[in-house]
Structure 1
Amino acid sequence: MLHQLKHYIKHSLKSFHLHGIHSPFVFTLEKKCLRDKDHYEQYGEMLRFRESLQYNHTILNIKDYGAGSRVFKSNVRKVSDILKHNSSDQKSAALLMRLCSYFKVQQVLELGTSLGIATQAMAISKPDVHITTVEGSPEVQQFAVQSFNDLGLKNIISICSKFTDFLADHDSSYDLIYIDGHHDGAATLAYFESCLRFAHNNTVFVLDDIYWSGDMTAAWDQLCHHSQVTASVDLYDLGLLFLRKEQLQERFYIKL
């Protein structure tokens, strides 16, 4: 908690608004997507899905391959508790929806489905988007699949697998890659490296919980200096990485 508070203060001091951004690409991204205050009809769908899970007391046995939980002492958890402590909040889910729409993405890879809050947000962002989402915990993955079926979402491929196994055997190209599920710095670096072969010049990487721990923050800092990363946008809750060769390497701090 102290680590997060310290870096929240640092982030706030480093953040700036439109007049401080000299990259036309990032300037437009902030103005038309990150700070977009319009109300989209998808927000209502997202809120209804979240509310359907809020009082769902189904018990799931969690198989955790990641850094573990700071809240839960047991791997037996209620859906409502997972929603409260381990799922994307409404603000982050809405941003993911807007990013998919803004960049006109067609193929999305998500590492870490959980209950599918972020998955659903991206899946309803635009008619032609297709989501491949990977979840390591079988009961969580099965619960999410049932939710997607109940919502009538036909554009989601859900895979139950360890991330390392999936990445080793998979070969495709994605416009947006969302990494959320391990919360370990070394693992995050390894996932990014593995996902580079799925990326193209306009792929956007989205990383969750970049200030979750010291090693996650160190991994984020290392990725910002990666030889193939040309722009990074630090939103505190999320981090965006771009590989655009026409962009000079630069770090941006934006407080939403």
Structure 2
Amino acid sequence: MIHQSKSYLKFLRTSRNQHGVHSPFVYQLVTQCFYKRQQHTAYEIIKSYKKRIRKNKATISVSDLGSGSRIFKSSERKVSKIGKFAGTKLKRAKLLNRIVRYLNILKALELGTSVGLGSVAIAAGNENTSVLTIEGCPETAKLAKDNFNSFNFENIELINGEFDNVLPKLQSTFDLVFIDGNHTKNATLRYFEALLPLSHNDTVFIFDDIYLNKDMTKAWELIKNHESVTVTIDTFKWGFVFLRKEQAKEHFVIRV
């Protein structure tokens, strides 16, 4: 918590809005996507899904395959509590949904399904977008899959398996990669390297919880300086990474 607090104070000092952003690509992304607040029908779907999760009082046994939970002390967890504390927040879900539309994402990959809020944020209202989401915990994966079926999400495919076992089997290229699982430095870097061959010039990587701990922040710094990376956007909660070869290497810290 001390690391997060110090990092957030630094973020507040160094972050900016669209003013002072001289990259046309980033300026348009911030003004036309990040800050676009108009309502969209997809938001109601996301809200309904989130409401379903929050009302689910069932208890499941969660297998933590990554860094573990800072909030839950037991593997036995109420679904409603997972949705409240561990799932993608509504504000971020709306942002993710806008990003998919704005960047015309056709193929998305998510590492870390949890109860499915991130997957739904990508898929809702974006019928032309196919979402492949991977979850290591069997009970969590079953819960998410059942909920996807209840909401008739035909554009979401869920694989239950450990990331390191599933990633080598993937052959498709992805337009968006959302990494929201196993929040450790070595694992994050390993997934990034493994997924680079499945990316292209316009792929966007989104890393969750880049200031969760010192290790995750170190991973974020190494990714920013990776030779394949040109543009990064630090929004504190999420780190955005672009590989656009036509862009000069530049790092932005943006309030969202």
The alignment's TM-score, normalised by the length of structure 1, stands at 0.98
Question: % of aligned pairs identical?
Answer: 40
Deviations 1:46-100 (A, max 9, x none): 1111111112111111111100111111111110111112111001111110110
Instruction: In structure 2, give the amino acid aligned to 1:209.
Output: D
Match for residue 149 of structure 1?
A: 149
The aligned length equals 256
Deviations 1:115-153 (A, max 9, x none): 000101111142200000000000100000000000011
Q: How does 1:53-202 map to 2 (within 5 A)?
A: 53-202=53-202
Please report how far the alpha carbon of residue 19 of structure 1 lies from its aligned counterpart in structure 2 after TM superposition: 2.2
Q: What is the DSSP-based 3-state SS (H/G/I as helix, E as strand, rest coil) of the residue aligned with 1:60? A: strand
Where structure 2 has 5 or more consecutive residues not aligned to the other structure, the ranges are none
Contact in 1 for aligned 2:235/2:254 (Cα 8 Å): yes
Match for residue 255 of structure 2?
A: 255
Match for residue 241 of structure 1?
A: 241
For residues 163 and 188 of structure 2, the distance between their equivalents in structure 1, rounded to whole angstroms, comes to 11
Contact in 1 for aligned 2:134/2:160 (Cα 8 Å): yes
> Which piece of structure 1 moves more, 5-14 or 136-145?
5-14
Contact in 2 for aligned 1:100/1:125 (Cα 8 Å): no
For residues 196 and 110 of structure 1, the distance between their equivalents in structure 2, rounded to whole angstroms, comes to 14
Deviations 1:206-240 (A, max 9, x none): 01000100100110011011100000000111110
Q: What is the DSSP-based 3-state SS (H/G/I as helix, E as strand, rest coil) of the residue aligned with 2:145? A: helix
Q: CA RMSD in A?
A: 0.8
Instruction: In structure 1, give the amino acid aligned to 2:147.
Output: S
For residues 122 and 87 of structure 1, the distance between their equivalents in structure 2, rounded to whole angstroms, comes to 14
The alignment's TM-score, normalised by the length of structure 2, stands at 0.98
Please report how far the alpha carbon of residue 17 of structure 1 lies from its aligned counterpart in structure 2 after TM superposition: 2.0
For residues 234 and 216 of structure 1, the distance between their equivalents in structure 2, rounded to whole angstroms, comes to 13
Match for residue 225 of structure 2?
A: 225
Contact in 2 for aligned 1:67/1:184 (Cα 8 Å): yes
